[in-house]
């Protein structure tokens, strides 16, 4: 699989590393130059510095042949825009988002994102059975 990962924070870094270890082709997009440099020391040439919400930049990542794109920045709005561009402009088959606000899981689906995962929801579910007062 060719997977594009948008956002090289902690989640994006471990995700990319894991995908590479499993034998997938990965491009990791990071906007911040310093962070991108550091990521490159760890992951090599799969790291590209740029804005994953910009069509022109995405076009340089070979996105037309991507099987999936995963947006895992800390900002829900940036994840949404990157995935909408990937879907509507480049027709990427699978779009997956990390969302921080749990109510964005449903909203992202309404707005065309295939899968939205809320870490907050996952953690809340881990507290099951629900805490009662």
Binding site for another protein (CB under 8 A): 53-56, 75-78, 80-81, 84-85, 88-89, 101, 103-104, 107, 110-111
Burial of 14 (C-beta count, 10 Å sphere; 0-12/13-18/19+):
exposed
Question: Is the Cβ of residue 65 or residue 88 nearer to another protein in the bound state?
Answer: 88
Nearer to another protein, 18 or 77 (CB): 77
How far apart are CB 78 and another protein at their closest, in Å? Answer: 5
CB of 54 to another protein, least distance (A): 7
Distance CA 25, CA 36 (A): 18
């Amino acid at each position: 699989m060719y997977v594009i990962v948008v956002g090289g924070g902690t989640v994006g870094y471990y995700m990319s590393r894991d995908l590479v270890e499993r034998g997938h082709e990965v491009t990791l997009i990071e906007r911040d130059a310093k962070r991108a440099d550091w990521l490159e020391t760890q992951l090599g040439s799969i790291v590209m510095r740029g804005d994953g919400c910009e069509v022109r930049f995405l076009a340089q990542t070979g996105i037309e042949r991507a099987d999936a794109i995963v947006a895992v920045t800390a900002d829900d709005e940036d994840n949404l825009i990157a995935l909408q561009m990937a879907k509507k402009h480049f027709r990427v088959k699978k779009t997956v988002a990390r969302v921080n606000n749990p109510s964005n899981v449903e909203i992202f689906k309404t707005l065309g994102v295939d899968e939205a995962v809320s870490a907050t929801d996952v953690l809340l579910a881990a507290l099951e059975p629900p805490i009662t007062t």
